[in-house]
Amino acid sequence: MSDELPERDADKALAGEYALGLLPSDEAAVFEQRLVNEPELRALYAEWCEDLAALTDRIDPVAPPPRLQGQVEAALFGAPAGKSGGMGWFGVFLGGLAAAALALGLIFGADLLPRGPQAPADPAYVAEVAAEDGSLVVAAAYDAEAGELFVDRRQGGPREGRALELWLIAGENAPVSLGVLPGDAQAALAVPQDLRPQLAGGILAISDEPPGGSPTGAPTGDVLAVGPITNT
Amino acid sequence: MATRDDIEAWLAACTTGDRRAFGALYSATSAKLFGICLRVLDNRAEAEEVLHDVYVKIWQNAGRYQANGLSPMTWLITIARNTAVDRLRKRRSPPASMEQAEERPDPAPGPETQAIAASEGGRLSACFDELDEGHAQAVRGAYLDGETYADLAARFEVPLNTMRTWLRRSLLKLKECLSR
């Protein structure tokens, strides 16, 4: 935004816009990245959250229906859901949760809620997928138990209007997609059952693709970063 | 009424998997958060679903609370407000361009935004009073009605960039007043 505010004021305004959820998604992503590294910005954001929360002071409390608590606890703890439980409802909940999680990154600071799953404590394999010039660096760690590859984009990102897609190259095989890296820097990608045995000794690569990933099932754009998968 | 210490203790206990603490936290705070969800969404069924998601997030992220420097109630309110606004925005079809935004019906401020005048009490209210009325409405609309810049630009019939400049200036004015 170029309305010529001094830097400190610009950040103050920016943190307010972020707290209100007004930033365009690209600017929100940049802001979230900065939140991670800039305590002052985090403080500004926290101040705005406190200030704006006062806007709810006059909203009267309304008791939710009593069954809801049981449903929440059933979803969290797997206890019987009570008379209104059941898969239908649970399915709706899961859908809602996934949708909510999707949009969450636009609004929440990295410090307020985790932006993705945590790195596995005891990964079976790890890889550092990096561009030669260091402009793109993604650390990957495979959680064998969950069958998930945790990815942490530490440097760089997709080009404007493009996506980054992660590929597994096992031996002489053609690259197989492990999925498009989400906008969040950290994410867990589910590794299909049949690919899991191929991780050992394989290579991970990241290519530049159209949004949503390669339309052909093979890399179509530049290969930006490569890294071998190693045992821990 | 639960104190700040109570809520902090429950959140801390949630991180250790203490279900009873979660139950206590829910009992003490769910009416407030449900009120917020209802206010934002104005739809009971959706507000219930959102409240459900909110408490799932609270349980799963309780460990993140201590580090973020917010008061515990603000943390809970922020999660509830943001989750409700996410839902609201998903319900509205997002305007792809300003033209589309202008064709949409005037997103009138919610009843509370209109009637709120000086009702928040205290500092914030006094500082809102120092803003132009329209600008104060815009900030409230963004927070409580999930209005986007496109919504606000359409409501106030100004170009998007003008709206953004306005709002940023209003935020700074608000901040300046609040920190006096």
ipTM of the complex: 0.84
Range with lowest mean pLDDT among A196-205, B30-39, B108-117, B169-178? B108-117
Question: For position A92, what pLDDT does the model report?
Answer: 46
- A98 lies within 8 A of chain B by CB: no
Looking at the structure, do residues B17 and B77 belong to the same domain, yes or no? yes
Q: How many CA atoms lie within 13 A of A204 on its CB side?
A: 32
Looking at the structure, do residues B161 and B105 belong to the same domain, yes or no? yes
Mapped onto helix, strand or coil, the DSSP state of residue B31 is helix
pTM tops 0.95, yes or no: no
CATH number for position B75: 1.10.1740.10
Rg, C-alpha atoms of chain A: 21
CATH number for position B109: 1.10.10.10
Yes or no: say if B102 and B154 are a contact pair by the CB < 8 Å rule.
Answer: yes
CB contact under 8 A, A52 and B112: no
* pLDDT (tens digit per residue) in A75-100: 998 745 443 334 444 444 444 554 44
Looking at the structure, do residues B8 and B77 belong to the same domain, yes or no? yes
Domain ranges for chain A, please list them: 7-56, 67-107, 125-231
CA distance B167 to B122: 22
The mean per-residue pLDDT over the stretch B117-133 comes to: 74
Task: Please identify, among B91, B114, B148, the residue that sits at the C-terminal boundary of a domain.
Answer: B91
CB contact under 8 A, B52 and A68: yes
Looking at the structure, do residues B162 and B103 belong to the same domain, yes or no? yes
- Per-residue pLDDT at B126 exceeds 80: yes
Looking at the structure, do residues B107 and B80 belong to the same domain, yes or no? no
Average pLDDT score over chain B: 84
Q: How many domains does chain B have?
A: 2
The mean per-residue pLDDT over the stretch A44-57 comes to: 93
Q: Would you say the C-alpha torsion A82, A85, A87, A92 has a positive or negative sign? A: negative
Confidence of residue A171 (pLDDT cuts 50, 70, 90): confident
Range with lowest mean pLDDT among A116-120, B127-131, B155-159? A116-120
Looking at the structure, do residues B66 and B22 belong to the same domain, yes or no? yes
% of chain B at pLDDT higher than 90:
63
Tell me the residue range of the domain where B159 lies: 98-178
Interface of B with A in 91-110 (CB under 8 A): none
Choose between A18 and B120: higher pLDDT: A18
The mean per-residue pLDDT over the stretch A191-218 comes to: 86
Looking at the structure, do residues B19 and B59 belong to the same domain, yes or no? yes
Task: Name residues whose C-beta falls within 8 Å of residue B41's C-beta, 6 or more positions apart in sequence.
Answer: B47, B50, B84, B87, B88
Yes or no: say if A152 and A227 are a contact pair by the CB < 8 Å rule.
Answer: no
Looking at the structure, do residues B76 and B103 belong to the same domain, yes or no? no
Looking at the structure, do residues B78 and B114 belong to the same domain, yes or no? no
- Per-residue pLDDT at B105 exceeds 80: no
A104 token code pair? 């969450």
Residue B171 burial by CB count (10 A; 0-12/13-18/19+): exposed, middle or buried? buried
Count CB-CB contacts under 10 A for residue A57. Answer: 13
CATH number of A125-231: 2.60.40
The mean per-residue pLDDT over the stretch B94-118 comes to: 41
Q: From the candidates B7, B81, B98, B177, which should be mutated to test the interface with A, based on the most A CB atoms within 10 A?
A: B81
**Chain B residues inside the 8 Å CB shell of A111:** 64, 67-69
d(CA B104, nearest CA chain A) in Å: 19
Question: For position B6, what pLDDT does the model report?
Answer: 94
- What is the distance between the terminal CA atoms of chain A, rounded to a whole angstrom? 45
Looking at the structure, do residues B116 and B80 belong to the same domain, yes or no? no
CA distance A31 to A36: 9
Range with lowest mean pLDDT among A15-19, B50-54, B130-134, B166-170? B130-134
Question: For position B65, what pLDDT does the model report?
Answer: 84
